[in-house]
Amino acid sequence: MTKEPAQEKKRYDTLEDLDIGSAMTKKLRELGFNTVENLAMATAKDLDAAGMNKKNAEKLIRQARQSMPLPFIRGDELVKMRKNVHRLTTGSSMLDKLLGGGIESQSITEFYGEYGSGKSQICHQLCVNVQLPPEQGGLDGAALYIDTENTFRTERIFQMAQSLGLDPEEPIKKIIFAEAFTSDHQIFLLENADKVIKENNVRVIIVDSLTSHFRSEYLGREMLQERQQKLNKHMHMLIKLARGFNAVAVVTNQVMSKPDVFFGEAIHPVGGHIVAHTSHTRVFLRKSARGPVRIARLVSSPYLAEGEGVFRISERGIEDINQNDEES
């Protein structure tokens, strides 16, 4: 008796391919599920607001996941998959070296430090660098920038683009910008970003800064649990988008001082253990006495050793230090 060949899994490219009806498709889009990739990473509870019972929700999610890779793979297959992880240059070869060759896709990289340490400057630079071809350290794609502190400046983009020999008017067209006015608005923007990412070939997702609104809106210990729960969900949405679209995810973070600390580091990033555990790579930035020079310390990484590197911030953007910096 011959064995029948296994039936090939059906692939779904859009929500319409799932054949769930226009009304349900509309409800899912209103909830922020604009792509099959986003739906595949949802839970049945996430679909409660669409009026779908648990059984049907689980069935729909299973259908969407048919378009995703198999969940269990061998280690040698994982090595092959890791080859799909791309790296985006920061503009400084020394900073890239510290990060193992640049900022990697499919994970969250967090830059934290005091005011003026260069966090937003790096974010601006990444918006330009991502548009470069791979042979120049770019990803040949667009940038999605969520600004929570009103620090994004188009003038800075023009300067950085011009220093790379680009027409300043072109790179600005590939930066998808949104300003978040509250923490809930910030969450809403990211939850509804999947369609924008897919349609514009976004390869770097930036949230600058991650904790600003949460820090100002959730005051006191009685609100700490709710704040941390929302931050946790927000960051996991960012991971889903980075994994689903093989994009670089970068967040900046504010810091707080602990005056009662006499030994060790007195400056700590905001967000506690939630942000610490969810960020894959954490980089602490601080000013140097040498003018435009900044010091970057790799605090944690899944596989890179801790270390320090230096770079400078000039009118041209993020770059390596020069001889004048070393002599000063």
pLDDT tens-place string over residues 69-90? 656 788 998 888 888 999 999 9
Asked if residue 227 lies in contact with residue 218, where contact means CB atoms within 8 angstroms, the answer is: yes
Q: Is the pLDDT of residue 117 over 70?
A: yes
Q: What is the per-residue pLDDT for 323?
A: 62
- Under the banding of pLDDT at 50, 70 and 90, the label for residue 290 is confident
- Which of 185, 173, 70 lies closest to 131 in space, CA to CA? 173
Fold matches, 15-65 and 80-327: no
Q: Beta 87-88 vs 103-104: how paired, if at all? A: antiparallel
Mean pLDDT of the chain: 90
Residue 310 confidence class, pLDDT cut points 50, 70, 90: very high
pLDDT at 102 over 60: yes
Share of the chain above pLDDT 70, in %: 91
Higher pLDDT, 11 or 317: 317
Determine what percent of the chain is predicted with pLDDT higher than 90: 67
pLDDT in tens, 216-265: 999 888 899 999 999 999 999 999 999 999 999 999 999 987 655 555 56
Residues 6+ apart with CB under 8 A from 102: 87, 88, 89, 90, 96, 137
From CA 79, how far away is CA 66, in angstroms rounded? Answer: 22
Tokens of 297: 């310390």
> DSSP 3-state assignment of 46?
helix
Q: Dump pLDDT digits (tens) for 199-220.
A: 999 999 999 999 999 999 998 8
CA angle 219, 222, 223 (to 5 degrees): 50
Long-range interactions of 160-163: CB distance < 8 A, separation 24+: 160/124, 160/125, 160/128, 160/316, 160/317, 161/128, 163/315, 163/316, 163/317
Q: Beta strand 142-147 with 108-113: parallel, antiparallel or unpaired?
A: unpaired
C-alpha Rg value of the chain to the nearest Å: 21
pLDDT at 4 over 50: no
pTM for the predicted model, two decimal places: 0.80
Q: If DSSP states are collapsed to H, E and C, what string results for 74-91?
A: CHHHHHHHHCCCCEECCC
User: In whole angstroms, what is the distance from residue 161 CA to residue 127 CA?
Assistant: 10
Q: What is the pLDDT of residue 300?
A: 95
Q: Which of 12, 109, 100 is nearest to 62 (CA)?
A: 12
Buried b or exposed e, range 247-261, using 16+ CB within 10 angstroms: bbbbbbbbbeeeeee
Q: Poorest-confidence range of 7-11, 81-85, 149-153, 310-314?
A: 7-11
From the options 1.20.120, 3.40.50, 1.10.3470, 1.10.150, give the CATH code of 15-65. Answer: 1.10.150
Q: Is the pLDDT of residue 37 over 60?
A: yes
Closest CA to 208 of 141, 266, 285: 285
Residue 7: pLDDT band by 50, 70, 90 thresholds?
A: very low
Q: Please give the pLDDT value at position 136.
A: 97
Within 8 A by CB and 6+ apart from 167, the residues are 161
SS (H, E, C) 141-185: CEEEEEECCCCCCHHHHHHHHHHCCCCCCCHHHHEEEEECCCHHH
Give the range among 42-46, 256-260, 266-270 with minimum mean pLDDT: 256-260
Which pLDDT value is given to residue 258? 67
**Spans of all domains in the chain:** 15-65, 80-327
**CA 104 from chain center: how many Å?**
10
Domain 80-327 has CATH 3.40.50.300: yes
